[in-house]
Amino acid sequence: MFDEKRATRRGLALGAAGLLALAGCGTGEAEAVDEVDATDAAGVESLKVEVVETYDHDAGSFTQGLQLAEHPTYGSVLYESAGLYGESDVRITDPGTGDVLATQDLPAEQFAEGLTLTDTDLWQITWQEHTAHRRDPVTLDIVESVSYEGEGWGICYDGAQLVMSDGSSTLTFRDPKTFAPTGTVDVTLDGEPVAQINELECVDGQVWANLWQTDQIVRIDPATGEVVAVVDAAGLLPEEDSAGADVLNGIAAAEEEGAFYLTGKHWPKLFLVRFTPA
């Protein structure tokens, strides 16, 4: 069963702030965002989504970050960061059932964004609170909280460094131990900047990223910032499941090579997918 406490907290959350944030990742006055067009971009793959399996997912989660990993008690799990003021938490879930196995709330004044696992730590970032929490991945307890400049949207770990987005077209690289910035790269498609970069997943030296307010996911070469593939995920959530759902957000590499878990904010479903030529 899904966490009943979450459902109760959702009803009691800070109404005004919650409604404001429902407009998107973290801003209530965001303008509509045009999808990127890879049609005439040389060397850019156009991909579509092939659904392999469909699972239940807690529709109470305003999904901001997602990562598959092994837990010493629960086995293969998804770590998930859920946002909104008064509702934010970090949780461990069963990918096959959607059950919430463990959870820790954030302070009501913090809006949780992306998360990622390093070799030893679980990092969770916040939207406008300039705070990153380094957590114990087993217990979810906060070990340390550090400050950073700018907004926090998505984050992933490539095995050597953290890669973080802030909603712009810039990715920031960070030290996985101290969270200190070590460099940046500007993301472009056919020479044009690609903004609204949100949830991230690092896989085999590449960065996969949700583009907020769109049904697109892009694959970025972090060495150059160039977008090398664009995934069209339109129609992934069936219309009969879309009542109350927000935008696509949440990408996690699956155990099988080339497969990914995808979900969205307040989505009642989690999908195991492959990306195939469009």
State pLDDT tens for residues 244-277: 999 999 999 999 999 999 999 999 999 999 999 9
Q: Is the pLDDT of residue 18 over 80?
A: no
Rounded CA-CA distance 55/51 in Å is 11
Give the containing element (helix H, strand E) for 5.
helix 4-12
- Name the CATH superfamily for 4-27+41-277: TolB, C-terminal domain (2.120.10.30)
Q: Residue 136 region, left (φ>0) first, then alpha (ψ -120 to 50), else beta?
A: beta
Distances (CA, A) of 170 to 19, 110, 272: 28, 23, 29
Take residue 239 and report the two structure tokens written for it.
Answer: 């219309």
pLDDT digits (tens, 9 = 90+) for 65-121: 999 999 999 999 999 999 999 999 999 999 999 999 999 999 999 999 999 999 999
Looking at the whole model, is its pTM more than 0.75? yes
Which pLDDT score, from 0 to 100, does residue 25 have? 57
Q: How many C-beta atoms lie closer than 10 Å to residue 74's C-beta?
A: 15
Domain ranges of the chain: 4-27+41-277
- Tell me what the mean pLDDT of segment 223-232 comes to: 96
